[in-house]
Amino acid sequence: MLEIGKRGGVGQRDVWEAADALLLTGFRPTVERIRGQIGRGSPNTVGPHLDSWFKALGSRIQDPAAFCASPGAPDAVTQAARTFWEAALTAARQACTDELTQDREALAQEAASIEKERADLAGQRIRLADAAETQQTLIDTLKTQVEDARASLNATAAERVSLIASHERQIVQLHVERETLEGRLGAADEKLVALQNELSAVKSGCDRDIKEALLRFDQARSEARVAQNALAELRQHASAQETALASLTKQLAAAEAEQKIAIKAKVSLENAVAAEKAEALEVKSKVQTLETDLRQAEAVEATLQAALDAERSRAGELALLLGNSQGEIVQALRSLEQSNKDSPAGLDPRRRTTKRKRGIPMR
């Protein structure tokens, strides 16, 4: 028996009828759809009745009479009930199939989400483990630093006590030095008076020096003006030089282009030089052969020169002997001529003619 709702309320029958109607139209019964179908009812009231409808749906599908008309109903009502049952059965099957597909998709998505969450949790667990290890390392480091700081603090405290004692000794020494300095200060006051007198004298001299320095400053200012004019001229000259530099830069670019051409020419020249070097090596080999021949010729020439020198020496000796012989002959002729002059026959012209014909020179 279906429970009928109280007056103004929603009962189990209302919910079941609305669910059957939604199922016949091809929609899955939900709390919101049933509330929209009925037009009233809270989720807390509709929800339990809908759950009982889903629980009874299987048994109602297995019992065709659950959706059939009563035995005393007219044929039209029976036929309508049968049609209603078949349509409800088809719709229920389709709804179950769609719901099963949706549930499978939802389960697949949920499984993927769970797997992702599991991976995230694993990564988070690893990060937490790393963080815990890092924290533990940091804690160990901080403990070490605290112990070091404590030891350093103890050493600092001991050093501070030592410094305080040293400062107290220094204070006593400073008192002694203060008394000594007070005595020196009295002497310094006297010296200060003397120095003030000297300062007055020096000040008067400084005034004179300042006046002279002002005069020199005016002169330097005039010279500075001249220097500024010269600087302006130098700037103009520098501008001209910059213009010339720009021109030289262009010329340098052209020279670089020419240098590239020269490099190509140099490569060609180097190739030619290499060929010439090969020829030079060949010529050098020939020159070495000629030098060998020349040395041999020089050796022969030296031998001939030695022989020639020997012949020249002999010729010199022969010339010397010939000169001596000629001197003796001339001396003999002179003696003969002198003797002819001294003899009476020497006055005969015919004798002189005879001598001339014979080739004897006449004196």
- What pLDDT does residue 71 have? 55
- Render pLDDT for 12-42 as a digit per residue (tens, 0 to 9): 999 999 998 888 888 889 999 999 999 988 8
Which residue type is seen at 44?
Answer: N
State the pLDDT at residue 16: 92
The pLDDT-based confidence of 360 (bands split at 50, 70, 90) is very low
**114-156 per-position pLDDT tens digit:** 888 888 888 888 988 888 889 899 888 988 988 888 888 888 8
Residue 330 pLDDT exceeds 90: no
> By mean pLDDT, which of 72-76, 186-190, 193-197, 260-264 is the weakest?
72-76
Tell me, what's the pLDDT at 47?
A: 92
Q: Which of 71-80, 96-105, 233-242 ranks highest by mean pLDDT?
A: 233-242
pLDDT at 63: 66
The predicted model gives 320-337 an average pLDDT of 81
pTM of the predicted model, to two decimals? Answer: 0.24
Average of per-residue pLDDT values in the chain: 78
DSSP of 308-361, one letter per residue?
A: HHHHHHHHHHHHHHHHHHHHHHHHHHHHHHHHHHHSGGGG-HHHHHHHHHTT--
Residue 111 parent element (H or E):
helix 75-342
Question: Which residues, at least 6 apart from 47, have a Cβ–Cβ distance to it below 8 Å?
Answer: 31
CA distances from 295 to 189, 288, 299, 305 (A): 106, 10, 6, 14
- pLDDT score, position 101: 82
Local structure of 140: helix, strand or coil: helix
Query: What pLDDT, on the 0 to 100 scale, is given for residue 49?
Result: 92
- For residue range 199-234, list pLDDT tens digits in order: 788 778 767 877 886 888 788 788 868 877 877 887
DSSP 66: G
Q: What is the dihedral of CA 234, 237, 241, 244, to 10 degrees?
A: 180
Contacts of 351 (CB under 8 A, 6+ apart): 340, 345
Contact criterion met (CB below 8 Å) for 27 and 33: yes
Reported confidence tier of residue 158, pLDDT bands at 50, 70, 90: confident
Residue 65 has pLDDT above 70, yes or no: no
The predicted pLDDT at position 77 comes to 54
Distance CA(188)–CA(181), nearest Å, equals 10
What is the rounded radius of gyration, in angstroms, for the C-alpha atoms of the chain? Answer: 74
Other residues' Cβ atoms within 10 Å of the Cβ of residue 349:
7
- Percent helix, strand and coil across the chain, each to the nearest 5: 90, 0, 10
High-pLDDT (> 70) share of the chain, %:
81
Split at pLDDT 50, 70, 90, the class of 8 is: low
Q: DSSP label at 42? A: -
pLDDT for the residue 362: 46
